[in-house]
Amino acid sequence: MKKVLIVNGPNLNLTGKRNPEVYGYATLDEINARTAAEGLRLGIVCDFYQSNHEGGIIDSLHQAIDRYDGILLNAGAYTHYSYAIRDAIEAIGLPVIEVHMSNIYQREEFRHVSVIAEVCRKSIVGYGCESYTIALKELNDIIK
């Protein structure tokens, strides 16, 4: 079976409570459960990691080498300015798909820039919690 790591960044632990008009009412645990179920349907084992700390996200990316076939990454606000996360994505040599529940390109201007998009295989944005299952299907096609 394929193995995929799903990494969620800052404030995503508050999903379902924080700005539900933007992110929806599903909790991160509920989103993870849906994503894991879709993974099993596709023949993928999903592991999940969430951190509010940039270094924790970078460490999880580094530790994915030789353990996972690919990564889904919702870097949260780090998407817009973390060159350290960008460099980690580039360094690990695994396919990474950028995921966002909201459409970052239709929100505040500062969210329009993704410094990680260039080193990710694809970006899936704006489909709510379904962004994760859509991205998992895309990643499955890449890691076949």
Active site residues: 23, 100
- Please give the Cα distance from 112 to 35 (Å, whole number): 26
Two structure tokens written together for 21? 């008009």
| Integer CA distances (angstroms), 13 to 30, 53, 143, in order | 11, 12, 28
**Cα gap 116→42, rounded to integer Å:** 26
Q: Which helix (H) or strand (E) holds 2?
A: strand 2-8
